[in-house]
Amino acid sequence: IRADVESRGLGDVYKRQIINTMIRNIIFTLLAITLVMGCSSKKKDMQKQETAEAIPVKVMKLEKKNIAKTLDYTATLQADEQVYYAPAATGRIGKIYVEVGDRIRKGQLLVEMDPTNLRQAEVQLKNLETEYNRAVKLNETGSISKQAYDAAVTNYEVAKSNFDFLNENTKMLAPFDGIVTGKYFEDGELYTGVAMGGAAKPSIIAIEKINPLKAYVNLSEQYFLSVKKGTPVELKSNIFPDRTFNGMVNIVYPTIDPASRTFTVEVKIPNKDEALRPGMYGTINFFIGETETVVVPALAVLKLQGANNRYVFLNKEGKAKRVDVTLGRRFEDQVEVISNEIGEGDELVVVGQGRLVDGSLLSIVE
């Protein structure tokens, strides 16, 4: 440029002005070309990137469903009835007819004490019964004084009461169907009325009724009006992962503990096959009505690695929106999801969600 200007024979100042102007024009032209090329390249890269990041997914429209509203609590099972069986008076044990683990039937002879006192009482009762019958006949004809008649009646009734008492405490019969859970004496030993052999109370044997079983659960006071006698429940135990045991609330205690703000309910669980046993631990679900909620395929819910946070992806105008959720009840391959950001009619990503991040472009596959 300089050589071209000097060849024209112009003055020095004018030459410099022309040279600087031409150089500036060239620089501006180069910058404009670079900018145009850069923008064109960036636009192509963005178009290429958008095309590459459109991830194929399948979606489903969410609908609310009515599901059972439940309360989940843990509890320890107890026998419906438990008796530490012993006679009312001390004495020698004649024979124990059962062993620990034996199943018993109501009315079955379990223990027989030494029968000597019973036999004496039986003989005395027969003698007094004879005198009583004679006094009754004489009283009908007016041949006996009222004082003698009353004495005969009283003596007979006292002897009969004593015989019945000894008979009940000599031949101890099962008060219900159940199972023997403890034996603390052997045949011929003297029952002293003191707890022996690890018994919790003075007794010869312990028996329990294990059909049905019961459990006591302390519920929060906010459910006091929702849980009533007859409310259905389900029991699940880790010992039987594939079984569900149905029962119901038997008693609702009428007071609320002011310290814990809870009230107690007694639950009865039928146990016909005696699979459950006292002392087992389980989860009890109380069914207190129905609620309308969103249920989705369990596979659509993702878990944040290294944490217990759960989330799903929704289709929002062709882009993925990540939404944190709380899990509710599970129904086989479906699960209840709870979130203020999810509503009926939203499109949930059910296939391909593992490749998504928040804001990913979506290609909906029918």
Q: Among 236, 184, 220, 193, which residue's Cα sits nearest to residue 88? A: 193
Q: Is 332 helix (H, G, I), strand (E, B) or coil?
A: coil
CA distances from 69 to 117, 218, 289 (A): 62, 18, 5
d(CA 8, CA 81): 125
d(CA 73, CA 233): 11
Query: Could you read off the pLDDT of 121-139 as tens digits, one per residue?
Result: 999 999 999 999 999 988 8
Q: Among 297, 309, 285, which residue's Cα sits nearest to residue 336? A: 297
Per-residue pLDDT, 104: 95
Per-residue pLDDT, 1: 52
Tell me if 297 sits within 8 A of 333, measured CB to CB: yes
Q: How confident is the model at residue 178 (pLDDT cuts 50, 70, 90)?
A: very high
Q: How confident is the model at residue 269 (pLDDT cuts 50, 70, 90)?
A: very high
Q: How confident is the model at residue 220 (pLDDT cuts 50, 70, 90)?
A: very high
Q: At what angle are helices 146-170 and 116-141 packed, to 10 degrees?
A: 150
Average pLDDT over residues 70-96: 92
H/E segment holding residue 224: none
Query: What is the CA 166 to chain-centroid distance, rounded?
Result: 48
Tell me if 250 sits within 8 A of 266, measured CB to CB: yes
The secondary structure of residue 46, as a DSSP letter, is H
Average pLDDT over residues 71-89: 92
Q: For all residues of the chain together, what is the average pLDDT?
A: 87
Query: Could you read off the pLDDT of 139-151 as tens digits, one per residue?
Result: 888 888 899 989 9
d(CA 71, CA 240): 20
Tell me if 201 sits within 8 A of 251, measured CB to CB: no
User: pLDDT: is 28 or 236 the higher one?
Assistant: 236
Is the per-residue pLDDT at 24 higher than 80?
Answer: no
d(CA 185, CA 191): 8
Q: Checking phi first, is residue 116 left (phi over 0); if not, alpha (psi -120 to 50) or beta?
A: alpha
Is the per-residue pLDDT at 275 higher than 80?
Answer: yes
Task: Write a three-state SS string for the chain.
Answer: CHHHHHCCCCCHHHHHHHHHHHHHHHHHHHHHHHHHHHHHHHHHHHHHHHHHHCEEEEEEECCEEEEEEEEEEEEECEEEEEEEECCCCCEEEEEECCCCCCEECCCCEEEEECCHHHHHHHHHHHHHHHHHHHHHHHHHHCCCCHHHHHHHHHHHHHHHHHHHHHHHHHEEECCCCEEEEEECCCCCCEECCCCCCCCCCCCCEEEEEEEEEEEEEEEEHHHCCCCCCCCEEEEEECCEEEEEEEEEEEEECCCCECCCCEEEEEEEECCCCCCCCCCCEEEEEEEEEEEEEEEEEHHHCEECCCCCCEEEEEEECCEEEEEEEEEEEEECCEEEEECCCCCCCCEEEEECHHHCCCCCEEEECC
Per-residue pLDDT, 96: 96
Per-residue pLDDT, 46: 55
Average pLDDT over residues 249-256: 96
d(CA 271, CA 34): 85
